[in-house]
Structure 1
Amino acid sequence: MRRTRSTFIAFGATVAGAAVLLAPGTAQAGTPAEAAPAAASRSLAQPHSQPQSQPQSQPQVQIQGKYYFNTWRDAYSYASPTTAAVKKGVLYAGSNYFYCQAKGQPHQDEANNKNDWWARTDDDKGNKNVWVSATAFSKGGDWEPIPGLPRC
């Protein structure tokens, strides 16, 4: 998938009672939340633009079973990994957490990105355990799973 949108994203976490600002790419998959202060002491915010020559293989950070990734556009969420399912809500573009991914119905978005991988998350309308198409992710390719997100 080609992405043309540039974003400048940072997000926060609380570690041992202290607020920590984490920037994209400052922690690796499986990094315990306690290691976040060392990661945050590096750059507090880094530009993130697409396309990248090589997709990164880790999410931005993993905290308590949630994997944080950038989504490049707003995306509808569904009750199951198919657009034939009930549309539940919306996940806004930016840094979002996801639990896992699974193969589902092929989906093509308005930018002509295509994928049959879907990620489980909680959307911005309060719906829990809903599915968002991988076409909304800032990384990954057409018909490929999201790098760094475990299978459900």
Structure 2
Amino acid sequence: MTSLRIAVLVHSHPALKKGGGEIVAHRSFTHFREVCDHASLFGVALPEVPGATSIFASDERLVRYDEDEYLMSCQGYNNFLGTTSNWRLLDDIADICEARRINVFHFHHFFQLGVNAAAYLRARFPKAAVKGGPIPGRRGGAKPGHRRQVG
């Protein structure tokens, strides 16, 4: 075990949407749970997924889905700017992460979460690492054993 305490933030959850990004993020979360002191997963419940909005009461922004897994209602996301105005949701995420002593934030995607979410968490957790993009060890997101074609 390592002293890493990781929060994985992703634009959806594979229980709601079976896209490649959601599956990779959830598999990463599962792996982190095995090799780190703690891992949490925060996935967006996209409003266009049938039934996703019925998960939340009118005043809820975040609900527990499973052990250390949370679904988020991401109202206030600006598609043009790629930012969120839902500061209360970010406060809720940060409060959970503070209680779990998270020291690494891994953004699998910023879509529906906002690039400013990373800046917010960096400010709230100045000693934590904030990462985004492909999983470490995967060159540019390419599949292992495959090379990208150039030109």
- TM superposition score normalised by structure 1: 0.22
